[in-house]
Amino acid sequence: MPVPFQQYLTALPEKKLFLTSLDRRIAQLYPIEVWRQNEKFFQEYRENPGLAKKAAFNAADLGAEVEMDSQGRITVPPELRQELGLEDQTLHLHSFKGRIEVLSQKIYEDRKRQAMTMEAEDLEKLETAGLN
């Protein structure tokens, strides 16, 4: 785990983390408090309860509580590694909305291709909406 992520995680009041995948493509590492908020969200979401049910099922099926060891490592459960194809490759970490996303090389390359389509007008829209 890169040092900035280690520093963030060690500064949390609770050291437990929840590692899972909601879409069976990308792994997400949540501080346990953030994950508890997600569990509450799944229970209370009324706009499309079937969607919440699918995401909650994926999370429970592939998820596990984990902790970072003293060397900044986190053990990825074998079921999650296999399902997402995370074995024997470089993984990419991306912090987003209070979680750390764990991207396989393929997913990283896909995201990179998508991000390269960003136009100046797209960035202007984000800045107009409040991006600094």
- Angstrom distance (rounded) from CA 101 to CA 90: 14
Q: What is the pLDDT of residues 16-34, one digit of tens each?
A: 999 999 999 999 999 999 9
Number of domains in the chain: 1
- Is this structure's pTM higher than 0.85? yes
CATH number at residue 67: 3.40.1550.20
Show the domain range for 32: 3-128
Q: For residue 41, give the H/E element and its range.
A: helix 32-44
Q: Residues 80-130: pLDDT tens digits?
A: 999 999 998 889 999 988 899 999 999 999 999 999 999 999 999 999 999
φ/ψ of residue 71, rounded to 5: -100, 10
